[in-house]
Amino acid sequence: MSTVFGLIIQGKIPSTKVFENERILAIEDIHPVAPVHILIMPKKPIPNFQSIEPEDYKLISEIIEVAQKLAEEKGIADGYRFLTNNGPDSGQTIFHLHFHLIGGKVLGHMA
């Protein structure tokens, strides 16, 4: 796990954790684009969305549950964005699957 997220998961780089269990870690983004900007990632090293295998589907479902729970806790359940980038052309710069939970302001239309 040589990505920055792998190092965060291993505890080698500090982060502000908002959720953690054996399979998933959620942290505050250090460059937030909105009042709530949380990164939710599997601890399993999956490079990107396209690399998800059928045996990972349960894990992805659990990530969705965590996102819904955090949206409720952060008071953004009525309006938020939940997204991931897949590959360099989408803007992915860290090749460890992660999802952005973004809200707390009007986000407008996506490009």
**Distance in angstroms (rounded) separating the CA atoms of residues 12 and 35:** 26
Known catalytic residue: 37? Answer: no
Residue of 31, 37, 98, 109 marked active site: 98
Q: Active-site residue numbers?
A: 98
